[in-house]
Structure 1
Amino acid sequence: MLILFKIVIAISWIAVVFCLLLPVILLRLRVPPQKRSTQDLKAYQLYLLVPMHIEATIAQDALAHFLQRNIDTDFQYNIHWVVIEDGSTDLTEDQLRPFDKRYPNLAVIYRKFQAATGKGMALNAGLDYLRHKVPSTQWSKTIVGVLDADGQIASTALLKVLKTFAADAKLDMLQTAVAMTNTKRWLALVQDFEFQVFNTLLQNLRGHLKNVAGSGNGQFFRLSSLPTKFAWGQTLLEDFEISTKLLLQAKKTAYAYDLKVYQEATVSWQAYLRQRTRWVIGGLQCLHQFRKGLGQNQALRFGAKVEMFAFMLAAYTTIGLALTNIVALGLQVYLLVSYGRLSLILVAVLCLGLIMNSMLAYIYRVMAQASVAQAILIVVTLPFYAVLTLPIAISGLLGYVQHHHNWDKTDHGIL
């Protein structure tokens, strides 16, 4: 039994040290910025697909902001919004009607049949609209973006997206960075930290492995690169699903860390846990859908496959590591109470964790122009935020096993 305990402790410490050192490793794996063309972009068109389901609180403001941001740009009519009104049961449709057919670069699609079946199906409806609107000869120079209803991106960033695709004819998908607009509350602040630091580090790793994945808001695709039918499926992680489909077909994906899409963070615990549970279920659905094809694929590198499997298996590894750490922590407490000894390894790991959190908080302060108080708050509370991954993993795993696969959207405009 003693040997078993030692093995558990060893595994726990190895996992903890690995998790603490991983950010340092990822910081050394910076990907060069994307090249951007200086040629004339008049031949390029950008269509932003924006699904809206029960978004009456923000629909009108979202469209008004889009028109205002693009009113004086040189490419005003090269940038379009295609809003998919997805069978809302509130006043979303009434909010959209005043904008419909009034502006040449804004269109609204009203879904009445088979609506409200998930974000993927709404995006497919928007894609079908584009394929009928844009001549097939122009598909290679037509860029399709995906934004949530609360997404905000500057017109200058959209122009850089077009320049990135123009500079690389082989580029099929570009994922931008994501940041939060509302960071006054702690829960929103740590989400902003998660997206701006951890997600960027992960995407940098994927950039080296050649498997950059879709990650929420701010995905852009070359229209000619997307599947002709049912590009998006019905998993609850439609962003990772579509990028995986492209990667399995040897398509090129990239990450633009210097371009940001801003969105609302969830500010209530109920909404936060519901959103993250949906992501866990979606990852497990992707694992079921792609495990065979991913394992047999010859185009992807071995390291890329390992990272993708690890991402989809996160629920299992989170639960396993959490249980291992709980046992190890219990043994450390037992040694302290029974023999008055505090493990030097424990002290070293705690110090290492404090140093690591401080470094990451400093990086966040630079990237997000956060205050000193916000950076200190992150350093102190980041371990608590990490603990939240365990109930989320358990909730997601139970939801997947019990087939709770309905799209449970995040509410917007409740700040």
Structure 2
Amino acid sequence: MFSSPFLLVFPFFLLACFLLYWAGARHAYTRRPEAGNGDPNTFDWHFFVPCRDEEAVVGTTVERLRADHPRAHVWVIDDDSDDRTGAIVAGLAETDRRVHLVSRVRPDARLGKGAALNAAYDELNQFLSKDADRERVVVCVIDADGQLDPHALERVSGPAGFGDPETGGVQVSVHMRNAGDPRPLGEDSGRLRNAFARLLVRMQDMEFSVSNAGMQLLRGRTGSVGLGGNGQFTRLAALDRIAAAERRPWQRGALLEDYELGLHMILNGDRISHIADTWVSQEGLPHARRFLTQRTRWAQGNLQCVRYAPRIVSSRHYGGKGVLETLYTFLQPVAHLVTLALCAVMFVLLGLTAAQDGVGEAFGGMLALWPLVLGLAVVSVLPFVLWGPVYRRDRASDRSLLSALLWGLALWLYAYHLFPASARGFVRMLRGRNGWAKTRRNAEVVTSGPVAIES
């Protein structure tokens, strides 16, 4: 009953694709050249900080951006907040002419992060003089709780970034700054809950700072680097080119407005680079429910982006490697869904075999294959484990090698969240549910009611 070639071959095909992608990402990360510095004074910097009910963090974020990057302008988009976000930013703007408040009110507000960023783009256009060199104006999107490396602008201005005139966008690495917090849930929560939350945040930091950074550096070699929602830098001229073609830089209704922006940028002929030698930090999510909701949104956004596949395949700006890498990224949630379906089919077939021929006959054949199963398990787990020492070297040098290897093992288990997230994202898309509430910050007081994740 297990004679279907598809059932037998497909898992091996997925494993081969994963191993090839992992090998390329790890090599790109561990063998990357150091990004050189440039002169940030040759550019005009503007930070966009989209906010909705962010009074717990926005003041600190704006003050730090202004202190670390005194020549930059900070544009805070208040998306019709119910709290004091707008008042806090307005107070800062009164004493600092480089702080700007972009106020939005319903019904024009709360239409998504992309719409909020488009509003800031419009305000910036009105602010700049007509003779401004828009190739030298750089926009950077920072989350309301984001903290940017004080030396980031030097790296981004360098030859790996906007020092190259062909570069239209730069994405920097993302770190979770609460990865070392011993009690992410606070003193009132028990040891077990805090231990799980601590591990969850650590896995997010490991995922972003080494694994995802490696993927991005690999994409740098294939010409398909993606932009993220935090720490994305773009030339204003590149945004103009997208607006000319698509009516606006960021697309409304997009659940991955950041990644979608990068697709449009490459389709227009601009190059995107990833710089792993500088960073933006944010808070990792210590709550499993919020985390799963966030990843559901990302999976759903990936599925939405599949519609760009024909344009990418036919684009002269995507080479063969870039097309393959982008399609691989698009189809990850689809592969997870197919894998879940295959597992369900195999369990059904196993049950039917057990009912027809007996339990011994059904499981006997599987037990005879234990060397193959063990070999596949090792090959599947080892790539995750090998990220552990790399992460320890770059992000946790004070921890033991054993801890790093255990973190790598935990990263393998952590990766299984992709399967329920992909399934939930697919169901939401089928039901036409595309709306998402804002991320509740860790510093906010918890209130009753559902909370979904926007970023």
TM-score, length of structure 1 as denominator length: 0.89
Question: Percent same amino acid at aligned positions?
Answer: 25
- Name the residue aligned to 1:316: 334
Which of 94, 104, 118 does residue 97 from structure 2 map onto?
104
Q: Deviations over 1:1-51 (max 9, x none)?
A: 3421x652343234235424532233234575476465x653421111000
Which of 166, 170, 174 does residue 170 from structure 1 map onto?
166
User: 2:343 and 2:58 mapped to 1: Cα distance?
Assistant: 45
Correspondence list, 1:271-282, <5 A: 271-282=290-301
Structure 1, gaps ≥5 residues long: 71-75
When residues 94 and 137 of structure 1 are mapped into structure 2, their CA distance, relative to the original with a 3 A threshold, is: closer
Shift of 1:396: 0.3
- Name the residue aligned to 1:127: 121
Shift of 1:205: 1.8
- Name the residue aligned to 1:216: 229
Conserved? CA contact 2:213–2:276, under 8 Å: yes
> What SS does the aligned partner of 1:3 have?
coil
Shift of 1:182: 1.3
User: 2:306 and 2:9 mapped to 1: Cα distance?
Assistant: 29
Conserved? CA contact 1:188–1:266, under 8 Å: yes
Shift of 1:120: 0.5
User: 1:385 and 1:83 mapped to 2: Cα distance?
Assistant: 34
- Name the residue aligned to 1:139: 134
User: 1:233 and 1:180 mapped to 2: Cα distance?
Assistant: 27
Conserved? CA contact 1:335–1:341, under 8 Å: no
- Name the residue aligned to 1:187: 200
Correspondence list, 1:294-373, <5 A: 294-324=312-342, 337-338=363-364, 341-369=368-396, 371-372=399-400
When residues 145 and 202 of structure 1 are mapped into structure 2, their CA distance, relative to the original with a 3 A threshold, is: same
When residues 162 and 132 of structure 1 are mapped into structure 2, their CA distance, relative to the original with a 3 A threshold, is: farther
- Name the residue aligned to 1:262: 281
Conserved? CA contact 1:12–1:324, under 8 Å: no
Conserved? CA contact 2:172–2:279, under 8 Å: yes
- Name the residue aligned to 1:73: none
User: 1:22 and 1:335 mapped to 2: Cα distance?
Assistant: 38
Question: Which amino acid in the other structure matches residue 320 of structure 2?
Answer: F
Question: Which amino acid in the other structure matches residue 127 of structure 2?
Answer: K
Conserved? CA contact 1:59–1:92, under 8 Å: yes
When residues 411 and 134 of structure 1 are mapped into structure 2, their CA distance, relative to the original with a 3 A threshold, is: same
User: 1:297 and 1:341 mapped to 2: Cα distance?
Assistant: 49
Conserved? CA contact 1:84–1:126, under 8 Å: yes
Conserved? CA contact 2:135–2:236, under 8 Å: yes
User: 1:334 and 1:132 mapped to 2: Cα distance?
Assistant: 76
- Name the residue aligned to 1:239: 258
User: 1:233 and 1:209 mapped to 2: Cα distance?
Assistant: 25
Shift of 1:61: 1.9
Conserved? CA contact 1:9–1:328, under 8 Å: no
Q: Deviations over 1:135-177 (max 9, x none)?
A: 2432111111011111111221123223455521221001111
Conserved? CA contact 1:275–1:409, under 8 Å: no
Moved more, 21-30 or 234-243: 21-30
When residues 88 and 397 of structure 1 are mapped into structure 2, their CA distance, relative to the original with a 3 A threshold, is: same
User: 2:361 and 2:279 mapped to 1: Cα distance?
Assistant: 49
Conserved? CA contact 2:34–2:277, under 8 Å: no
Shift of 1:267: 1.4
Shift of 1:299: 1.9
User: 1:179 and 1:343 mapped to 2: Cα distance?
Assistant: 40
When residues 385 and 334 of structure 1 are mapped into structure 2, their CA distance, relative to the original with a 3 A threshold, is: farther
User: 1:358 and 1:324 mapped to 2: Cα distance?
Assistant: 26
When residues 196 and 410 of structure 1 are mapped into structure 2, their CA distance, relative to the original with a 3 A threshold, is: same
Q: Deviations over 1:56-81 (max 9, x none)?
A: 211222223223334xxxxx22x221
Alignment of 1:94 onto 2:87? yes
Q: Deviations over 1:186-232 (max 9, x none)?
A: 11111111111221121122111111111231110111111344100
Moved more, 394-403 or 375-384: 375-384
- Aligned pair count reads 406
User: 1:335 and 1:26 mapped to 2: Cα distance?
Assistant: 43
Shift of 1:108: 1.4
User: 2:414 and 2:281 mapped to 1: Cα distance?
Assistant: 21
> What SS does the aligned partner of 1:137 have?
coil
Shift of 1:338: 2.7
TM-score, length of structure 2 as denominator length: 0.82
User: 1:352 and 1:336 mapped to 2: Cα distance?
Assistant: 26
Conserved? CA contact 1:57–1:413, under 8 Å: no
